[in-house]
Amino acid sequence: MANIKFNYADRKLSLSDKTRLKNYIVSIFEEEKVALNELNYIFCSDEYLLQINNNHLQHDYYTDIITFTLEERGEPVIGEIYISLDRIKDNSKIEKTNLLNETLRVIFHGSLHLCGYKDKKKADIIIMRQKEDYYINKYLTVD
């Protein structure tokens, strides 16, 4: 079975039933027919993620998520997903959505990137949002 870990750099994710969420993330990969080996989520602050953005991508701006794929080509996914909990809080206010929905959106967004979905072109963004919404709704309506 795939190994999913939630790690905390300088912020703690406060969600109930993290085991259920980890199992659900595995099911996303299964539904998308992408083999998953290991996935590490690292929850952090804006400043922590800004350093990663600067050091690894040479981007000097805040972002809510950075996803790294670490596996060899053709191997099951091994990924690291860095998520700024500060950005999630701000984005939930800007988007007028609740914090849980925005948190799930970003968590699933990283998984979807590792499943091959992109979000640079307008058409890709639309597909990514549809997939995010689909998995959020499915997660929130199934126990």
Q: CA dist 105 to 60, 98, 111, Å?
A: 23, 11, 10
Q: Cα(91)–Cα(55) distance, rounded to whole angstroms? A: 24
- Kindly tell me if the per-residue pLDDT of 107 is higher than 90: yes
Domain ranges of the chain: 3-141
Q: Cα(76)–Cα(58) distance, rounded to whole angstroms? A: 28
**Beta-bridge partners for 68:** 80
pLDDT digits (tens, 9 = 90+) for 39-64: 999 999 999 999 998 888 777 877 88
Instruction: Say what the pLDDT of residue 1 is.
Output: 66
Q: Which residue has the tokens 């091994």?
A: 78
- Kindly tell me if the per-residue pLDDT of 101 is higher than 90: yes
Instruction: Say what the pLDDT of residue 57 is.
Output: 76
Phi, psi of 27, deg, nearest 5: -65, -30
Mean per-residue pLDDT over the chain, rounded: 93
Q: Are 60 and 53 in contact (CB under 8 A)?
A: yes
pLDDT digits (tens, 9 = 90+) for 113-139: 999 999 999 999 999 999 999 999 999
- Kindly tell me if the per-residue pLDDT of 26 is higher than 70: yes
- The correct CATH number of 3-141 out of 3.40.50.2300, 3.40.390.30, 3.40.120.10, 3.90.1170.50 is 3.40.390.30
